[in-house]
Amino acid sequence: MKPRFILVFTLFVYLIGYHLPIANASANSVQEISDMASIVEEEGLSIQQWEVLAKENINPEKANEIAAFMEDHYPDASLSTEERDHGTKLIWNRHKNNDVSETYIIVIPDDSNYDYEFIFKLNGSAWNPSIVEYSQEIITTMKNHFFTENVTKFSCLKTQPNDKIDNVIFLENVLKNWNVQTLDEMKENDFVVLSGYTSRWETVIPTADKPMNIQLAARKGLGGKTTFTIGTPIIVTEY
């Protein structure tokens, strides 16, 4: 199944001609995940997975600097190479006590007219004080060493409603508790995607009428189980 977020986000881009970077990208990703985790736990649900992603175009010199940093500071990271149609990916993977996974990616284009790209991913399946502390530490390191004000960032969290609460009730509770202003909604037989704005988070995407900084998705999968995803400012993982 293809990522459903592509259809929704492409619609926004087509309608308003929006291009990254996102405004106010310095907002606290750790706080965003904490907010998502809190509302999930308040509903008596468990976290399936959370993720923070940051990306920025870089030049070859910066790419060499990042590669040297990885070699010097993270010798425990495993390095792999992935050939793509239009370039090469250098991928470093690290794991923190099996609770947090880190992925560092440098995309090297075949065409020298295009910029290199640096992508940083941080994800896990649990959220507790020690993970919060470590996540804040590593994100601060990335911000201080590699990213500028042009960074684009995304945060998301997945959960599954249980027998006590279905996806409709959970969706309504998030909208109410965070005072989300709905901007767009898409419904099909097996999934719902809602885009909107909440004053809880600073990072926004400007749309034709109002700023947008939250997407909520509910998708029914195999066995009739529904996966619920919360993302800011958009969802950039498959749901």
What stretch of H or E contains 92? strand 87-96
Nearest CA to 28 among 196, 142, 179, 155? 155
pLDDT band at 13; cut points 50, 70, 90: very low
Q: Are 23 and 203 in contact (CB under 8 A)?
A: yes
48 backbone φψ class: left, alpha, beta (φ>0; ψ -120 to 50): alpha
> If pLDDT is split at 50, 70 and 90, which confidence band does 57 have?
very high
Query: Which tokens go with 55?
Result: 């990306």
| % of the chain at pLDDT higher than 70 | 85
103-125: pLDDT as tens digits: 999 999 999 899 999 999 999 99
- Residue 69: how many CB atoms within 10 A of its CB? 14
Contacts of 77 (CB under 8 A, 6+ apart): 70, 92, 93, 94, 102, 104
Q: Does 18 score more than 60 pLDDT?
A: no
* Segment 187-194 long-range contacts (CB within 8 Å, at least 24 positions apart): 190/219, 190/220, 190/221, 191/4, 191/217, 191/218, 191/219, 191/220, 191/239, 192/167, 192/216, 192/217, 192/218, 193/4, 193/5, 193/8, 193/217, 193/235
pTM of the model: 0.85
